[in-house]
Amino acid sequence: MQNGYPFCRYYSTKTSYAPGKLIRFHGQLTGVLVRCLYDPGADSNFFAHSVAESNRFTLWDLDEPTACKGGLNGGPQLPIFQEVKGLPLCIQGFSAPLDLTVVDLDDDYDVMLGMPFCEEYIPIRHYREKALTIPAYESPTGRDLLLLDSEEYLAEGEGEDFFSQRELRWLMKRPSSHVHLFRLEAVRKGGVSNTLGVHSLQSAGKPGDPPPLSSFPPDHPINSSTYTGFRKHLQSKEVPPSVRPVLEKHFDRCLDELPGLPPHRKIECEIKLEARHSPPVRAPYRLSYGQLDELRQQLDSYLEKGHIRPSTSPYAAPVLFVQKADGMQRMCIDFTGLNKITVRDKFPIPHPEELLSRL
């Protein structure tokens, strides 16, 4: 306690004192561009009061005021009374809500990622490359995320000749370089462009590798939790390069989960059965404890999503599990008894020879 406040300490170094020695990023906080500093020595995640005030963020009073002392040489004590809660921070491919303590930071950075950020996402530090890796088991996207140190290069000149070809090649050869190619596209009033608009080239990548997750803008809908499985499929090498632009264009048709049951239509599908047959009822197969747990988990999931409902039908069919190539258990329903009494649809099938002769 100092001067009636619980005391905490954070450490930072100004860029003017040690340029190029810090891990820093450029991101967005609810659409506001912010400069972020990774500082595991800070007791909290800090947010600049000037940015919060200028953008009219909702500030919450702390239950118990506190104070912090900035700088390595014991700078002035700063009282802390307010915080912001649950603001979505987007840095390259990373996006997650954070609680930030509002404090008067210097002009170099707007957000300071401290110990709470480290405890929540357990980032792996790469000191030489000035980068962080968010492991898959802590990542909001379910896969490893590489956050590269972002620097702003201020170039003098007019027109398009900011960098010469030689300077651009030199920058791309650096292992830590992350080059973005921007394309501006005019859109008619009332129209929407399906082009992503931002593509990324990473100098450390090999030709033919799938694009990294950070190639998409952080605020793009494709980075939401709705398309987690689609992003994994898009990044796999099994997707041909010629098909990837088509998938990117129609990403809103590739949901990970079905939105629900289809609407009711006039035509009702039915299965015609042979007359004078009792409904087939078969006892369930013997399942292991693991398969029983998997069965209960899948049934609860389908019931919660509305894909199935409790049945009082006199028909009953057992289920069994088939292990897929990726190790997952696929639930299959054995309709053998129902198939035996089903009336088959019969219609003439043309001979293959006749079809070939017509061709």
Total residue length of the chain: 359
User: How many other CB atoms are there within 10 angstroms of residue 286's CB atom?
Assistant: 9
Output the six-digit token pair for 179: 């080059």
Question: What pTM value is reported for the model?
Answer: 0.39
**271-359 placed in CATH 3.30.565.10:** no
Topology match between the domains 7-148 and 271-359: no
- The pLDDT tens digits of the residues spanning 250-293 come to 766 666 677 677 777 888 888 889 988 888 999 999 999 989 99
What band does 331 get if pLDDT is binned at 50, 70 and 90?
Answer: very high
Q: Output the pLDDT for position 203.
A: 38
Domain extents in the chain: 7-148, 166-185+194-253, 271-359
Relative to beta strand 32-38, strand 94-103 is: unpaired
Q: Output the pLDDT for position 333.
A: 93
Question: Which of 153, 197, 147 is closest to 172 using CA atoms?
Answer: 153
Burial, 78: exposed, middle or buried (Cβ in 10 Å; 0-12, 13-18, 19+)? middle
Average pLDDT, the chain: 74
* Helix runs in the chain, H state only: 49-54, 115-121, 165-173, 228-235, 244-249, 289-305, 336-340, 352-358
Could you give the CA distance from residue 205 to residue 214 in angstroms, rounded to a whole number? 13
Ramachandran sector of residue 14 (left: φ over 0; alpha: ψ -120 to 50; beta: rest):
beta
- The pLDDT tens digits of the residues spanning 90-146 come to 888 788 888 888 888 877 888 889 899 988 888 888 887 788 888 888 777 777 888
Which 3 state secondary structure label does DSSP give 65? strand
Output the six-digit token pair for 81: 């009374």
Fold of 7-148: Cathepsin D, subunit A; domain 1 (2.40.70)
Specify which residues 316 forms β-bridges with.
281
Could you give the CA distance from residue 118 to residue 141 in angstroms, rounded to a whole number? 17
Output the six-digit token pair for 220: 């793009």
For residue 316, what is the DSSP state? Answer: B
Whether 109 contacts 48, CB under 8 Å: yes
